Structure 1
């Protein structure tokens, strides 16, 4: 999160009558009733797990819905339990009050952002009424299907508008997909895979939507561990078990601690 984004977040919570420096549990976002009454503002400064815990305190049946491509579905993992969605579910169910949390995996092989719209996937998600939606942006397939980046961004906006209108009380988090081999090669639309990653990230942040940059975090982890990309992929596109571990760790950390700030 850069300085401008941080300032925007501070402005939002102040306009909502919340002091981000307030540590008084009776009036701040650490109070469940207060959090639920000020969802939009409190989400700017609270980890996703707090949304789930506070909703659970109201005795609600909680669920998380995921939507995306085959890398959300877990292709390349040795077994279902190894994909990032299953690992996230296992971690969250250990948190207070979340043992009954339901997590659905809506990853569909080969799906692009255009497929998401054409097959009315947002409507399916809305009917589930989840507390949290995780939307993996399907950029691996937009790149492979030569969809212009401008169209990809337009599709993301269409999907987000549908989700936010259909699920006004839900928390929606977008995720990039993982790095891939040969992503530096331009497709027929004239874009590299990284072009899709960088352009959509800027578009998402410009709109103020929550975002986890899996692409960046996996690359940074590989560099720190002196590993190469081939070690965490099962083929040119899909992670193996170790790759899904890296993906899951990033999402779990975001859920439990919130977005990284500064040089974290």
Structure 2
């Protein structure tokens, strides 16, 4: 009996020693990994590439560092993909497929698009916290102006305050995350004063675009870019819409193509 107890004690001590060794190795491996990542980040921020960094270059660096890039697309139903189809998907899906086709880049796009949501809804319903929890490397934030503008129209100054609050949260909680803001597509309500609305959707986009540019945040003015492209192609707005508001497959494809044109442009020139 005593011999058996002694053998059990020795076995326990052996297991404990192995466990302590494993923890010791894991601890120092973790320290080494953190130091390696910190050095990679430091070297990258001192590089010429970082000085003229584009979204593609950021994605390539993060892939090299972590093995995969996490991109969150945040916004309303036109980020979620209402009006898209499997054959003609929403712009975020097209972005994921395109970036994964570039050598040295591996991407996962997480969709945080919410139908009917305004910027106030994103805040009050804790959707910003959900994005932070995903700890993305890149965020592309569609500003929900389609919903801020209608039923009832959100006060313009409050919308600016909402955007400022969201960006401050991202800056505080995700200081190393690249955040790019963008407007959404034109709709059939561009120049219509909606019930209880003081400005049109076009006027709303103009003022918010000017506000975002004044903050020097990376910005893609999808609304005006799509209008210009439609004029250039001599195609009517409703050709690109599934209904009065949401793009169809062709609309989402145009949206993505305009985004794609800016994937290799220096981020600091996006405005």
Q: Measure how far apart 1:177 and its partner are.
A: 0.7
Aligned to 1:154: 161
Aligned residues: 229
TM alignment of 1:151-190, pairs within 5 A: 151-187=158-194, 188-190=196-198
Query: CA–CA distance in 2 between the matches of 1:120 and 1:73?
Result: 17
TM alignment of 1:1-264, pairs within 5 A: 36-38=44-46, 45-79=52-86, 82-99=89-106, 101-144=107-150, 145-187=152-194, 188-258=196-266
Query: CA–CA distance in 2 between the matches of 1:182 and 1:33?
Result: 46
Query: CA–CA distance in 2 between the matches of 1:119 and 1:107?
Result: 13
Greater share of residues in helix = 2
Query: CA–CA distance in 2 between the matches of 1:80 and 1:125?
Result: 28
- Answer yes or no: is the 8 Å Cα contact 2:117–2:147 preserved in 1: yes
Query: CA–CA distance in 1 between the matches of 2:231 and 2:43?
Result: 38
Q: Measure how far apart 1:243 and its partner are.
A: 0.3
Q: Measure how far apart 1:122 and its partner are.
A: 1.3
Task: Report which of the two structures shows the higher radius of gyration computed on alpha carbons.
Answer: 2
- Answer yes or no: is the 8 Å Cα contact 2:53–2:267 preserved in 1: no
Structure 2: runs of 5 or more not aligned? 1-39
Q: SS of the counterpart of 1:82?
A: coil
Cα displacement string for residues 19-51 of structure 1 (whole angstroms, at most 9, x for unaligned residues): xxxxxxxxxxxxx86663259x96663211101
Q: 1:149 to 1:255 in 2, by over 3 A?
A: same
Q: SS of the counterpart of 1:57?
A: helix
TM-score by length of 2: 0.79
Query: CA–CA distance in 1 between the matches of 2:219 and 2:192?
Result: 25
Query: CA–CA distance in 1 between the matches of 2:51 and 2:116?
Result: 33
Q: Measure how far apart 1:106 and its partner are.
A: 0.7
Query: CA–CA distance in 2 between the matches of 1:170 and 1:229?
Result: 35
- Answer yes or no: is the 8 Å Cα contact 1:74–1:80 preserved in 2: no
Q: Measure how far apart 1:250 and its partner are.
A: 1.3
Q: SS of the counterpart of 1:209?
A: coil
TM-score by length of 1: 0.81
CA RMSD of aligned residues (A): 2.3
- Answer yes or no: is the 8 Å Cα contact 1:80–1:86 preserved in 2: no
Q: Measure how far apart 1:61 and its partner are.
A: 3.5
Q: 1:119 to 1:45 in 2, by over 3 A?
A: same
